Each structure stands twice: as C-alpha cells, then as structure tokens.
Structure 1
Amino acid sequence: MISEKFKAGDFRALVAEMTDEEKVSLLAGHRMWKTQAIERLGIPHMVMTDGTYGVRYSIPQIDDDQAGGMDFAAFLSVVNQRADHVQTAWGQMKPATCFPNGTSLACSWDVDLAHRLGEALARECQEFGVHLLLGPGINIRRTPLGGRSYEYYAEDPILTGDFAAGVISGLQENGVGASLKHFACNNSEVERTTMDSIVEERALREIYLKGFERAIRQSEPWTVMSSYNRLNGVQAAENSWLLTKVLREEWGYDGLVVSDWHGVKDRPASLIAGNDLDMPESETRKADLLAAIEAGDVDRAPVDRACERVLELVRKARQGENRTVTFDRAQHHALARRLAADSMVLLKNDGGLLPISQTKVKRIAIVGEGAAAPVIQGSGCATTTPTSKDVPVDEIRKLAGSDISIDVFQGTSEIASECEVLVNEAVQGVAGADIVLVFVNTENGYDGEGSDRRSLGLAPGHDALVERLARANPNIVVIISSPDAVAMPWIGKVPAVIEMFFSGQATGGAVADILFGRVNPSGKLTTTFPKRMEDMPTYLTYPGENGRHVYSEGIFVGYRWYDARGIEPLFPFGFGLSYTEFAYSNLALDRTILRTGEKVAVSFAVTNTGKVGGKEICQVYARYGRPRLTRPVRELKGFAKVELKPGESRTVTVDIAAQDLCAYDTALQAWVLDNDAVTIEVASSSRDIRLSTELQTVSAVAVHRRIERDTQPIFILENPAARRKFNRFLQKQLDISPEDADRMLEHCTNSFVGIFTTFDRRFRRTFPKADIEALLAEINQEADQQQRRAA
C-alpha cells in the first residue's frame, strides 16, 4: 500500500521516520534494476534498465529479482562451455526494437527524429513496466577507437547536446525517465574503471561538459549517471567539483545522480560528493555507508537530502507509468527503417553509380558475410534483443524485382583457411555484373564495453577483398558497418561508398531503400574520418599509461584539430552526399552587433537545384577574428535539416545565443564573450563553406586578467580600469601630476618583471605593502562586480 505522504510528496516527513538502515537501503537500490521499496512506510520501488537505442529487459533479473552474476556452483557448471555473452550476463531477454545506434542515428542531424526515438522507447518501456531508461549516452567521440563510441552521437558538443535533448524529451513527455550518461570524460574503455582522464579545465568546460549542460538545460533529465573513470585524479562518482559545484550549483540541476553499475569505490565519499543512488545493490557498500553514518563521518543532512531525491524520482516514475500502453512491433520496425535510412551517409558516388537504375542494371553481384548476417549493433550493456531483423540480400531482392538477376558470394570468413577460396570465388563471380555491392565491417568483439578497437582497419581480410573486387569490376559499391570512423586504403579505386555505422534491426531494408533511390540519402558525418591513425588528435597520448590518460589536444577535438593543423581528412565532419544538389544564397543576420544575453538569427535560402527531392543538413559555424584566447579555426554553433522538392527554395533560420560564442576563461573562472569580429559561416560541411558574413561581438565582462603583485606592466596598461587606478595611486604616493604618472607607467611597458619590481628597478621607488594590497583589492573587486552584473 502506497502511503499518502509519498503520494503527496511529503518526503521530508517520510525520511524523518526512517531508520539509518532504511535510508542506506533506499540509497543502494534493490538487486540489479530496482530501487528499494520500504513497505513499513508505504514507499514503492521503481524499475530501470539499460538502453541507449533499445530496451534491454532481463526477465530473470527484473521479473524474478535475480541478482547479477551467478552462484559459484553454477559458474563451475558452465565455465568450460562457450556461451553467448548477453544471455550469460543477463539471462533471457524480452525482444525489443533495436533502433540505429548513436553513431548512426545522429548522422540524421534531425532533432525531431531524436524525439520520435524517445517516444518509441517510452512506449516500449511502458509495456515492459520500466520507469527509467539508462540513456542516452553522450560522451564526446574523442577517438574513433573508443569501445563505446557506437553509443555516442558526435565529436561536437552542440550537436551532441541538442540531439540528446530530443531523445530525453521524447522519453519524459511520455512518462519514462532518462539517465544522461556518462558524466564525465568516459571516452575510452581501456582500464575504464580506474583510468584517470587528465583534462585541462578549458577543454573540460568547452568540449566534454558542454553537451551535458546543453542537454540538461533543454530537457531536464530525471537522472544523471556518473561515469566509471577518474577525472583529474578523483573518481567521477566521488567528485564533488563535478557533481555538486558544476552540476548542481552552476547549472542548477535538481534531479538525481545515480552511479554507473559498481562505479562507486568509496560509498561514503560518493554520498558526500553528491552521488545519491549507488547501483546495483552491494551489501559491502551498504555496510560501509551505515558505519560511516553511525561513526559521524557522514552527516545525516546529505543522507536525508539524497533520500528525498530518490523518493522524488520514484514518485515521478509512479506518476508517469501507464500499463495500458503497448507498442506495435511492425510500426516500430518501420520507424527503425526510416531512422536508419535517414542516417546512412553516402560518402562517394562517382559517375552517379547510385541509385541503381532498374532500366540499366540487369545483374547485381552481392559480396560479403554482412549481406546475409548484418552487423546491426555494438556489444555490451546497450545490446538489444531485436524483435526482428532485416536481411540485406532479401530486401535488395524485393526491390530489384524479377528483371534483375542477383548472385551472392560470401567473400570472407572468420576461418582463415577458407578465405582464399571464398575471395577467388567472389572475384570470378563479379565479372560482368552491372553493379557489385560489397558488405564489409569492422572486427567483431572490439566494438563495445571493456575493449577499444585496435586500429582503424576493417575486419581481417575485408580491405583485401575490396581491393581484389575493385580490380575485377569497376562498378563497385562498398557498404560499411562500423562503430565509428574507419580507414579506407582502397578509396581511390571504388566509385561509391555508403557508411551505415550500426543501423539497427532494419539495416537491410534501409540500405535497400538507399541503393534503389526509394530514399534519397541525407545523412552527414558527426565525426571526422582520418586517413590514418597518425592523423588523429589523440595519437600521441592515447590510451594513456600508468593509469593516466592525458587529453593532450585540449580544445582541439575532432574537426577542430584537423582545421588547426591543416590536415586533410579522409572525410570531414558534417560531410555527406545526396542524389540531388543544393545551392545556398541570401545570408542575412537580424543584428550585426551581439552582446551578452542576446541572440542572433542567421537566415539564408536553400534551393534544391537537382532533379529529385531530398534533404539538406545546413550547418552554421563561427570563425573568430582576433580572439583574446586561442580558439579553433571554426566551431559548429547551430544546424537545421530542410526537405526540398526539385526546384524548391526555402528560407532557413538558425538562432545562435551569445553564450554559445563564449570561451571559458580559466583565469576569471567564467564564460567570456570577446570583443571580436566573428565570421558567421553557413556550410554544407565543415570543409564546404557556402556563405559568410561578419558579426561584431561586444563583451560586457571584465575580460582582463586579475592583477597581482607580479603582473607584468603590459597587462595592467591594457586594462583601462587598472591603468586609471594605478595612475591615481602614483599621484597620491608620489605627489605628481596625472601626466607624470602616465609617463611613468608608459616607461614600464616593456618590463618583463612585475609592476612593483619594475618601479623599484627603474625608479628606485617602493611602496607600503598595505597600500599595494589595498590597490590590488580595489582593482579586482571592481572586475568581480562587473562580472557579477554581466552574469
């Protein structure tokens, strides 16, 4: 029986009635996927489960309250047997729709589709009885080798945050909570629970935290999940700077923080730092927290506050549940097909080889294991048991019809001894085909939790297969399934390439739609494809050593690195082809001067100049003029996707807030808008700028550094307020005129030592320490006041 106090939200009263043991149990969850019910007080439980692109429902662990792992006797009985990982880890699963994975779906650049995904996931959660879905995962794809990159959206925080907000809103508007994860800097699976991500604060703020902040402000997720790794020396789940100062105090987040599963190492420390819920249930960690409370090492105030947050979450969950909801398997499969087709990226199409013309093509040769057994998703906690699975060969046959003959060749095998025979068979078989479709993928087992990929190459034998086939038949289309970017040593020898990433259970139907032109490809890359590993920003310091991973590229992540270094990528960020062409014109801004707190509307026209309808992803970048701090060559600031018929033109407007043009000044510990001439660029990709115009940004913040005793004179003279106060100081101390005081200051301009040492060295004048401290305090206090007014 649920208590009236719980229904009314009188959580303080409920917590006051709890024993310490009950509080600890509430903050520790129940088994793998539930919160702890407290029947004595009428407090119910709620159910959560994994799923960034599909609901992974373990029947024994949720329905039967089975604990994770297995007892020792059961382990011994199966230890020498080869078992499926998912079934071993989670037991029997309820089939759910396996939608496109994060790397795939985000290539749609369509926030409305992200919202539709959230809605669909919510319907499946409601039918299954799940209150909280543990996703989306939005860590920046810092390296394409990252084992969980397939779950994440982009190398850019603006796209990442906006896309995540769409998914979260779709879930929560339909009564199911989201858990935004993994907070923060979980960018590699190498030693993932112990590795220390060493990130300087500006990169942390501008790249790795910005997507979280953006998603939280737009969608208010019910929970945020702390990550496994250490961050600058402190375990993320125990990092008070991250979980309290930044998340709660600066961003104003008032939801619940939940740990990643077994991500807490010191439970009392994590509770004090702001990690409310420790999952899954651990008797050891519960005992540690109870002992710390009873010993007075943990105050009861943060314990009670965390309990109230758990109760608030459970109440939201119970209010949102609707057990009358069911989901239509066929409709969700159709949605998965649409999402996949809108996300696949056409990387090359020389000579208009695609789409396949049924009047010109009479014979198709299909090669590759992935044609019959597609790789649809990565491995690990996000893995979904699909409700069905499209087979590419079957779907291609359906669209080809009876007038086109189709031959299928395996081409490769994981059994090395079979490969040469299979390759030779495929090479001979593709001769004379009007078009060859070769399905390739990355190595299975290196695309999920616990292991990063070892190279940018495809699976063993796949690159060689493409090379051999390209020599046998020039009309080849390479179709790639991969978790992230891959190298393409054969790119100059093939006319067409489609990157599918991991496109979910409807992969086969979606790629058939693209191949035959039923869907005009519109996906664009959300990460840069390097030509080789040595070009990657992370190359010299990845994956770290001695338990430390230094993010040496700083703010120059992804395309920012390639632009700054002048490195030509294989394919740039934001790139993707279509079966039609688009022209851009008439760029206009609704203001030419932008101040703190304002926004600028960037408007331009897009015209479909081709012969078929299509969708164009328009990107807006900022290119800085003479910034005070080092900035990238350009940064994405907004985007829009527009659908146009042949010959149709439409005006697109993208709003950019002044806040999004700020840099984080670590000296001021604040976001600062420069006085600068910023070029606003409208682009089809980060390397295809179509239009540009200038915007003047005007700072309302004290942009000058704080003044200390050893600050060099040049920095004081560049600061009008500081120069004015130093002038008055010299007048008073030396009884001189304003003109003489200014001449003294000018004479110090080129000094390489501090201002007061310069006075002593050049004029043999010293000043009372108390007067110096008073002057510095006055200057810095005025700057702080100006900063607060601007904020």
Structure 2
Amino acid sequence: MKKWLKILLIGLGSLLLLALMAALGGWLYLRSNFLYFEQEYPELAALSTLTVNGYTFVDRNSNGELDPYEDDRLPLETRADDLLDKMTTEEKIHLLKGSGMASGLGLTEAGDGIPGAVGTIVPTPRLGLPTLYLSDGPAGLRIQPVREGEDRTYYCTAFPIATMLASTWNTDLVHRVGEAMGNEALEYGIDVILGPGANIHRHPFCGRNFEYYAEDPLLTGKMGAAMVNGIESNGIGTSVKHFVANNQETDRHLNNAIVPERALREIYLKGFEIIVKEAQPWTIMSSYNQVNGAFASQSPYLLTDVLREDWGFEGIVMSDWFGGRDAVAQIKAGNDLLEPGTKKQWKALQRGYENGELPQAAIDNAARRILKLILQSRKMEGYAYQNNPDLEAHASIARRSAAEGMVLLRNEGALPLQQEQEIALLGVTSYDFIAGGTGSGDVNEAYTVALEAGLKAAGFAINATARQWFEDHKAAHTAEFVKPEGLQAMTQPYDPPEIDYTDTQLEKVAAEADVGILTIGRNSGEGGDRVEEDDFLLSAQEQSLLERACNAFQSADKPLIVVLNVGGVIETASWKSRPDAILLAWQGGQEGGHAAADVLSGRVNPSGKLPMTFPVQLSDHASNANFPLEGEPINFLNLLMGEAIKPKAEQVRNRDFTRYEEGIFVGYRHFDKAGLQVSYPFGYGLSYTQFAYSNLEVETGADTILVTVEVQNTGAQPGQDVVQVYVSRPESGTEHPPQELKAFAKTPELEPGATTMLKFHVPVADLRYWDEQQRKWTLQNGIYQLRVGASSRDIRLEAKVEL
C-alpha cells in the first residue's frame, strides 16, 4: 500500500512540476512577445514653450528653436514631412508597432500608462513626440475604474449599444453621443477610441452584432459617420472596425470570408465607404479574418486599392490586436500600425528592412501617416487632461438616446401605463437589467439602472410580493448571480437562472397588481457566436412562463407586457400575439431602466425603428446555411500563443472558410426577393400616435434626386416619425433587390395635427451597382421607382423618375 502511495505522490508531484513549468514557459513567452516594456522611452519631461511673432508654441524637443513640425500654422503634410526627415530608420520602424499590452495597461515598471487602455502609439522622446493611448469604446470608453493607491474612481458612461443607436435613425442624436464619448476620452487622457463598429448584420447569430449598427449599409454608414464626427470633434481619434467582412466570431482569426466582389462592394464595404467620405476617421482597424484568401491586414487590394485610392482615405490603418501573420506583408499592404505590438514583429520589421524585403518607401509611407495622427492629437497641443468629465451630463445623453432607440413592437391599448397602476415585475432581468454586451464592447460604468429602479423613480408602485420572490431566488443562487469579469466574461456571459413561478404565484400577483411586466434578457459578446436553442428561441421555461403569465393577468382582465432586454434578434413570431404589448428595450447602457420607464410611462413617445429584420424562423435567412451555428467560444490562450492563426490541414466549412453565397441578398433584400413573411420588417416601429404622408414631389437633377414629402401627426400625442425612401431599379438582365434604402430622415417632435416638410437628397451615384465583369460602378438607364414608407413593408407613397 505504501509503495502505491509513494508512486501516486511521485506522479502527482511530476504533474504539478510539469504544470508549473508550462505556466512559467507561457509567462516567459507572453513577456518576450506581448507584455514587453519600452524601458528606453521613459515619460517625457515637461516641455518648454517658445514665442514667435506673438504666437506661443510648444518646443517639443526643447532645443530653444522652432522646428517646422512644431508650427501648427503650417499644413499637416509639411509638418509630418519635416518630422520624417528628422527621424532615423530605426525610429520610423519603431513607430510602426505598439509598445505591447503592458504599457497600454499601465503595467510598466515606471507605473506609466492609463490602466485599462489596450494599446499605444510609441513616443519618440528625442523629438518630443508623446505616447498616445488607445482604448476600447463602441458603447463608451473602457478603462479601469479603480487604480492602485488611489481612493477615487475613473468610471465612464455606458451608452446604448450600437444597434440601439441605429434604431433611433437620428444622426444628430448619435453625433451628440459621440461628442460625449469623445469628451470622456479627452479628459481621461485617451487619444484614440477603438470604434465604432461598422460590420453588417449578415446573420442574427454574430456574437458582436450589438456592436454593429444594421443589416443595411446606408444606415450603417450614416450612423457610423455621425458617431465618428461626434467623437473626433474633441480632437480624439476613432478606429472604425473591423475592416472588412468580420461577420462571425467563430474562428475569426483564421476564417476565410469568400465574398463575391459585387456583394463586397455593395454591402460589406459600402458602410465603411460612407464613413470615410463623410467623416474621414483618423484610423481604420483591419479585421482578423481573411477575405477571398488574403488576411485583411495583409491585403493591398483592400487597404490600398479600395480604401486609399478609390475612397481617398487619409488616415492610418491599424491591425486588430495580434491580427495578421506577417508583419512585413502588413506594412507593405498598407496596414501602418501593428497592435498591440510584439517583440517578434519588431524583429521581423528590422530583418525585413535589412534584407530588402521591406522597402524604405513602405516604412516612410506608414510612418508619415502615423506622424500626421500624432500631430493632430491634443497631446501635441500640451493639453492637460483633468480626469474629470461631466458624467452626469453624459448620463442624460445616454438616457435620451436609449429612450429614442427603443422599438414598440406591439401595443393593444396596454401602453402607456397609467401613473396610479401597481406593476408586478416578473423575470430576473426586470430587477437586473443588462446594460450592454461583453468583451471589448463592454464599459466599466458606475451603475446600471434596472427596470424596477426606473419605474420606481417614475413614480410607479412595484408589487412587493413579486419583488420578494426575486430576492428569495437570488439568495438561493448566490454563485450564479456573480458577474464574471475579464476574459471569463467574454467566454461566459452573465446569465443567472430564471425564476420558476407556480401558477398559484402568478395568479396571486395578477390579483394584487394592475399590470404585469415580464422582462426577457439575452446577452452575447466578443469571442463567440450565438446559438438557436435557449438563445434565439425562448427556452422551454420562458415559453411556459410567458404563456402562464399572459393567462393569469388576462384572465383577471389586466394587461401583460413583455420587455425585451436583448442585444440582437430573437424569435418572436410564435408568441408575439399573446402579450398585450411588447417593448424592444435593447441594451440601453447604464440608464436603460430609466429610459424604459420613460417610454412605458409615455413620458417619451416611442419612435425607434428596427435596423434589421426579425424573421419568422431562423432558416428563412439566406445566410443560414453558410454560418457557424454551434457558437463555440474562442480560446484566448491559443490566440495569445499564436495557435489561432496557424493554418489547419483540414478545412471545415463555416469555420475555416465561409461562402457568402447569398451575395447582395442580405436582410430585407433577401426577404423581399424571396417573398417571405417576416415577424417584423426592417424599419418597423410603432408609436403612441399616428402619422400621415402626403404631397410627394420628386425633382431630378444632374447629380441628385430631390424628394420632398409632408408628414402630419394625425394622432392625439406629440411624437416623432422616421420616414424611409427606398428605390427600385429598372427591369434589366442584371439581378437587383426589389428595393433598397437610399435615404431616411426623422421628423422633429410634432404636436397633434402639426405638419412638417422633409427633404431627401438621393445622389444619382448611389443608384449604381457594381458590375463584376467591368469591375466598376455602373448606372443603368431607365425608370426608377421611389417608394416612401414607414418601414420596408409599409410603403405609403410612390413616384417614378427616368435616368
């Protein structure tokens, strides 16, 4: 017995030793390749100033003279060229990659950095060029709120998710959100926000759809441009991502998106094109995936031919974190900045220059673009950030945008609520609202307002019995109510168990309260895609609860309202007729509960419209056969160790490669072409009032079609409406969608009986299609039909023009 015990102990000891050695080896690998420190670049000393001809300038290199790059009266190109001439080749190469995750995270031995920032543009102290910090931020700036040795916090505002902002169809409002987001970056010392996301909702299961705007490229582009312009009005850069065709999380680091060129140009690139032309973002982030056989960050066609030569993009392209496989190929293709930067990349660039594989011209082009960004930054002005943004004012903007982005899907007289009503809240999520998705799209906010808190603040009485059942349930499942953090939050989104109500309990609260509200929650995030069972579909428990709750309240002649606190599309067709009302509350950021209460109470009349189609069933989507449906999360350790981008011997469909066989027929384009019924169409949304459209006029110019229409509030409540202009192309031998969104506008708030005139400018160039044979944009002659509607399937007025 002793002998076997001895053998067992020796075996366990050996396994422990091997585990320690593996951990040590992994740590050394990470330190040498990713978490390395730029010790040769300490923090820049205080910079002196010079006065020249009455102008005061920062003497960046403290030489007592004004160099051309220090003179902000000179053109940006001149200043960047002057800097480039002063730099050694080694300094230029050093500029092409970040300083590793450590310095960005504030982990350097000198204690530098901004905790929570994820990357840097390295400094050049000899010339007085500062470190620039990059941080996540599609729904708000993401930095660490708590810092060692400090008794204050650095919270940021959690704004509504991008899909919800798109649901406002209000570019002015999204611009205001961007202004607030950019101001927080400015005041916290961040120089570039890594967002917004501009990928298309190709399929409902993409785990990061909540970070993206819509299934339509025009809506995506207009919302993205508004966000970029808002953020960059602060002198803060943006990084529009993920360029391009990053439409799934499954195997995103290796997946080859095989996209027909027409679909690539008309659907997946078009939103980015609109953003570039209307906002000129400081940076674009190349995606992890391959596009038609080439990694996006190593594709001269995408990064140079399309982005720069076709569109005139003037900023820099940065890689996604650890994206790409060949540093030299990335720089040569037009990917200027490698993030977060590794020692392996640094050596590869040096070696490439020395052996002639990396030309001096490629180094200079990339370095010049990065220098222009540095010169644009507020840090070059000597701006002293205060770490004190106006979070209260920004919370107000978050609340307004969340309320305006909520979509009323159904209302059989149940809403708005009456002030004297007592409300029974059912479902865990009623008391534990989801602010946003997980991963880099998450925000470290100070608080999240739940629906319960929002309704109480609005003056409603909350049924105490249902409230106590939630507390009892939470106490019985303590571990499941602990929210995961860091990488665990990406792979295991917070999902506490639902309450099992008995029929007797439901009948009890239906007798006590005046109205019931059942909240259904869903979450997803970076690193994994969604699945059908218990995610897109309601779980068996949820279906039972919904049916029994409707029976209990409606039998008592009281309404049952469903609130959807979700980040993406779920199945609704099978159950949507049962509740008296359905409010799609999305994920409204930290003020989501207040915003939902504003809409439910009627303080805000709902005006949101869907930025995507809700199908009857998942298989109705044209992309469904060409999308990974297993939802397997990414192995982040494999990514860090480089395993995720190694080619595999056996290529698996929808994982290693995905064929976009549906072409341009994405979203409503497909549903319209196939003549399929949908649960809720693209552009759909109800109001507490009604609107009538009239007096459609169309004027055709050489370059633009001017469309005007009158909109009248014919109901009894003040409200806003979103008017959409769709265009149908002439009959021809070329296949086109039955209609495509080409313009939209949101009315101001109209009092009952009030009328407004909306004007739409449709560029004739936007009516072209991509001719794959000629490889160019082509305009067909003939009759075009303009359709003005309240949704893609609620067309109110039509007119024809001949081109």
| Corresponding residue for residue 663 of structure 2 | 554
With over 3 angstroms needed to count, the CA separation of the structure-2 counterparts of 1:494 and 1:131, relative to structure 1, is same
What is the aligned counterpart of 2:732 among 623, 627, 636? 627
With over 3 angstroms needed to count, the CA separation of the structure-2 counterparts of 1:320 and 1:391, relative to structure 1, is farther
| Corresponding residue for residue 772 of structure 2 | 666
With over 3 angstroms needed to count, the CA separation of the structure-2 counterparts of 1:675 and 1:191, relative to structure 1, is same
Matches within 5 A, 1:673-712: 673-697=779-803
Tell me if structure 1 keeps the 8 A contact 2:250–2:528.
yes
Q: Deviations over 1:521-552 (max 9, x none)?
A: 00000000012111112111112435110111
Q: Distance in 2 between matches of 1:177 and 1:332?
A: 19
What is the aligned counterpart of 1:24 among 93, 98, 104? 93
| Corresponding residue for residue 545 of structure 2 | 465
Q: Deviations over 1:360-383 (max 9, x none)?
A: x3x321111111111110001121
CA deviation after TM superposition for structure 1 residue 289, in Å: 1.3
Q: Distance in 1 between matches of 2:620 and 2:385?
A: 53
Tell me if structure 1 keeps the 8 A contact 2:673–2:738.
yes
The alignment covers a number of residue pairs equal to 659
Tell me if structure 2 keeps the 8 A contact 1:583–1:606.
yes
What is the aligned counterpart of 1:431 among 477, 501, 510? 510
| Corresponding residue for residue 305 of structure 2 | 245
Tell me if structure 2 keeps the 8 A contact 1:196–1:548.
yes
Q: Give the secondary-structure state (helix, strand or coil) at the position aligned to 1:386.
A: coil
Q: Distance in 1 between matches of 2:784 and 2:770?
A: 17
Matches within 5 A, 1:317-356: 317=377, 318-319=379-380, 322-323=383-384, 326-350=388-412, 352-356=413-417
Q: Distance in 1 between matches of 2:579 and 2:145?
A: 47
Q: Distance in 1 between matches of 2:499 and 2:588?
A: 29
Amino acid at match of 1:534: S
Residue 590 of structure 2 is aligned to residue 505 of structure 1: yes
256-265 or 315-324, larger mean C-alpha shift: 315-324
Q: Distance in 1 between matches of 2:688 and 2:307?
A: 44
What is the aligned counterpart of 1:599 among 704, 707, 721? 704
With over 3 angstroms needed to count, the CA separation of the structure-2 counterparts of 1:366 and 1:641, relative to structure 1, is same
Q: Distance in 1 between matches of 2:122 and 2:346?
A: 12
Greater radius of gyration (CA): 1
With over 3 angstroms needed to count, the CA separation of the structure-2 counterparts of 1:419 and 1:229, relative to structure 1, is closer
Tell me if structure 2 keeps the 8 A contact 1:6–1:42.
no
CA deviation after TM superposition for structure 1 residue 670, in Å: 1.2
CA deviation after TM superposition for structure 1 residue 387, in Å: 2.6
With over 3 angstroms needed to count, the CA separation of the structure-2 counterparts of 1:267 and 1:403, relative to structure 1, is closer
Amino acid at match of 2:140: G
CA deviation after TM superposition for structure 1 residue 41, in Å: 3.1
| Corresponding residue for residue 602 of structure 2 | 517
Tell me if structure 1 keeps the 8 A contact 2:96–2:366.
yes
Tell me if structure 1 keeps the 8 A contact 2:145–2:444.
no
Amino acid at match of 2:706: A
What is the aligned counterpart of 2:690 among 578, 581, 584? 581
Q: Deviations over 1:495-528 (max 9, x none)?
A: 2101111110001100011111000000000000
Tell me if structure 1 keeps the 8 A contact 2:99–2:121.
yes
Q: Distance in 1 between matches of 2:565 and 2:374?
A: 39
Q: Distance in 2 between matches of 1:470 and 1:324?
A: 53
Residue 226 of structure 2 is aligned to residue 179 of structure 1: no
| Corresponding residue for residue 450 of structure 2 | 391
Q: Distance in 2 between matches of 1:347 and 1:527?
A: 13
Q: Give the secondary-structure state (helix, strand or coil) at the position aligned to 1:310.
A: helix
Amino acid at match of 1:26: L
Q: Distance in 1 between matches of 2:170 and 2:252?
A: 31
Amino acid at match of 2:518: V
With over 3 angstroms needed to count, the CA separation of the structure-2 counterparts of 1:426 and 1:624, relative to structure 1, is farther
Q: Distance in 1 between matches of 2:285 and 2:344?
A: 21
Q: Deviations over 1:404-440 (max 9, x none)?
A: 9884353988879986744556523332333110111
Normalised by the length of structure 1, the TM-score is: 0.80
| Corresponding residue for residue 45 of structure 1 | 131
| Corresponding residue for residue 11 of structure 1 | 80
Amino acid at match of 2:426: V
With over 3 angstroms needed to count, the CA separation of the structure-2 counterparts of 1:387 and 1:25, relative to structure 1, is same
Q: Give the secondary-structure state (helix, strand or coil) at the position aligned to 1:289.
A: helix
CA deviation after TM superposition for structure 1 residue 27, in Å: 0.5
Tell me if structure 2 keeps the 8 A contact 1:627–1:676.
no
Tell me if structure 1 keeps the 8 A contact 2:328–2:349.
yes
Tell me if structure 1 keeps the 8 A contact 2:717–2:752.
yes
Q: Distance in 1 between matches of 2:207 and 2:278?
A: 28
Matches within 5 A, 1:511-550: 511-543=596-628, 544-545=653-654, 547-550=656-659
Amino acid at match of 2:528: S
Q: Distance in 1 between matches of 2:784 and 2:802?
A: 6
Normalised by the length of structure 2, the TM-score is: 0.79
Matches within 5 A, 1:746-765: none
| Corresponding residue for residue 138 of structure 1 | 198
| Corresponding residue for residue 638 of structure 1 | 743
Q: Give the secondary-structure state (helix, strand or coil) at the position aligned to 2:458.
A: helix
| Corresponding residue for residue 610 of structure 1 | 715
Gaps of 5+ in 1: 65-91, 698-791
Q: Give the secondary-structure state (helix, strand or coil) at the position aligned to 2:284.
A: strand
| Corresponding residue for residue 268 of structure 1 | 328
Gaps of 5+ in 2: 1-46, 48-59, 62-66, 72-77, 102-118, 481-494, 629-652
Matches within 5 A, 1:102-121: 102-121=162-181
| Corresponding residue for residue 778 of structure 1 | none
| Corresponding residue for residue 748 of structure 1 | none
Tell me if structure 2 keeps the 8 A contact 1:397–1:406.
no
| Corresponding residue for residue 188 of structure 2 | 128
Tell me if structure 2 keeps the 8 A contact 1:227–1:263.
yes
Q: Give the secondary-structure state (helix, strand or coil) at the position aligned to 2:784.
A: strand
Q: Deviations over 1:655-713 (max 9, x none)?
A: 1000111111111211111112111000000000000000112xxxxxxxxxxxxxxxx
Residue 227 of structure 2 is aligned to residue 192 of structure 1: no
527-536 or 2-11, larger mean C-alpha shift: 2-11
CA deviation after TM superposition for structure 1 residue 182, in Å: 0.7
CA deviation after TM superposition for structure 1 residue 20, in Å: 3.5
Tell me if structure 1 keeps the 8 A contact 2:424–2:463.
no
Q: Give the secondary-structure state (helix, strand or coil) at the position aligned to 1:694.
A: strand
Tell me if structure 2 keeps the 8 A contact 1:365–1:429.
no
Q: Distance in 2 between matches of 1:234 and 1:403?
A: 57
Residue 147 of structure 2 is aligned to residue 147 of structure 1: no
With over 3 angstroms needed to count, the CA separation of the structure-2 counterparts of 1:263 and 1:320, relative to structure 1, is farther
CA deviation after TM superposition for structure 1 residue 123, in Å: 1.2
What is the aligned counterpart of 1:481 among 558, 565, 580? 565
With over 3 angstroms needed to count, the CA separation of the structure-2 counterparts of 1:426 and 1:383, relative to structure 1, is farther
CA deviation after TM superposition for structure 1 residue 402, in Å: 6.1
CA deviation after TM superposition for structure 1 residue 323, in Å: 3.4
What is the aligned counterpart of 2:352 among 292, 300, 305? 292
| Corresponding residue for residue 3 of structure 2 | none
Q: Give the secondary-structure state (helix, strand or coil) at the position aligned to 1:540.
A: helix
With over 3 angstroms needed to count, the CA separation of the structure-2 counterparts of 1:59 and 1:506, relative to structure 1, is closer
What is the aligned counterpart of 1:410 among 470, 473, 478? 470
Q: Distance in 2 between matches of 1:263 and 1:97?
A: 29
| Corresponding residue for residue 730 of structure 1 | none
